[in-house]
């Protein structure tokens, strides 16, 4: 009985003194204060890394770029339904998504209700300057993006064609004939 009382006292001290001592050990830290520009740059970095993560995960599970492109269309194309048949609206939506990166540029060379021609830079290209980026090559990254745009365009009743020259990706988005 005496041992149980001593044990109860020790446990009570632990449960009372533990939190009190822990409070005394808390350290206040200053969190970084980010400017809106820093937040946007960080968001752009996450956007590219999320794409790379998806490609890396797919590769690790034996999927090809084609498999992943098809899966992406199956998952997300339905969210673009309001843009069906309109190259202009699709390009506007693509711009809204990619312009999260402050270094992104897009130029429209010609536009009509049935076709948009232009060129744009490739977000995240610099991440591949050392070759592979988290197990993904720039060619794989570009291929998955191309498959996404081709599949999305087809789903929307459009045709996507593009060519990358090392700096710019020239594109044509037109209504399917």
pLDDT at 158 > cutoff 60: yes
Name the percent of the chain in helix, strand, coil, to the closest 5: 60, 15, 25
Cα–chain center distance at 154: 22
Mean pLDDT, the chain, whole residue set? 89
Asked whether the whole model's pTM tops 0.75, one would answer yes
Nearest to 158 by CA among 88, 79, 71: 88
Q: Each residue of 62-73: pLDDT tens digit? A: 999 899 999 999
Cα–chain center distance at 44: 8
Show the domains of the chain with their CATH numbers: 38-175 (3.30.1380)
List all residues 6 or more positions away from 3 whose beta carbon is below 8 Å from its beta carbon: none
Q: Each residue of 16-60: pLDDT tens digit? A: 555 555 555 778 999 999 999 999 989 888 999 999 999 999 999
Q: Each residue of 131-153: pLDDT tens digit? A: 999 999 999 999 999 999 999 99
């Amino acid at each position: 009985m005496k041992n149980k009382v001593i044990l109860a006292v020790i446990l009570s001290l632990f449960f009372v003194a533990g939190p009190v001592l822990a409070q005394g050990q808390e350290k206040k830290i200053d969190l970084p204060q980010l400017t809106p520009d820093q937040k946007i740059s960080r968001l752009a970095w996450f956007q590219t890394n999320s794409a790379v993560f998806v490609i890396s995960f797919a590769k690790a599970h034996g999927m090809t770029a084609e498999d992943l492109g098809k899966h992406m269309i199956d998952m997300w194309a339905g969210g673009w339904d309001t843009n069906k048949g309109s190259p202009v609206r699709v390009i506007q939506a693509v711009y809204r998504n990619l312009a999260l990166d402050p270094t992104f540029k897009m130029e429209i060379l010609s536009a009509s209700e049935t076709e948009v021609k232009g060129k744009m830079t490739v977000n995240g290209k610099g991440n591949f300057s050392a070759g592979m980026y988290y197990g993904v090559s720039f060619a794989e990254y570009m291929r998955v993006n191309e498959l996404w745009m081709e599949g999305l365009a087809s789903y929307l009743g459009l045709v996507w064609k593009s060519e990358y020259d090392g700096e710019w990706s020239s594109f044509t988005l037109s209504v399917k004939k």
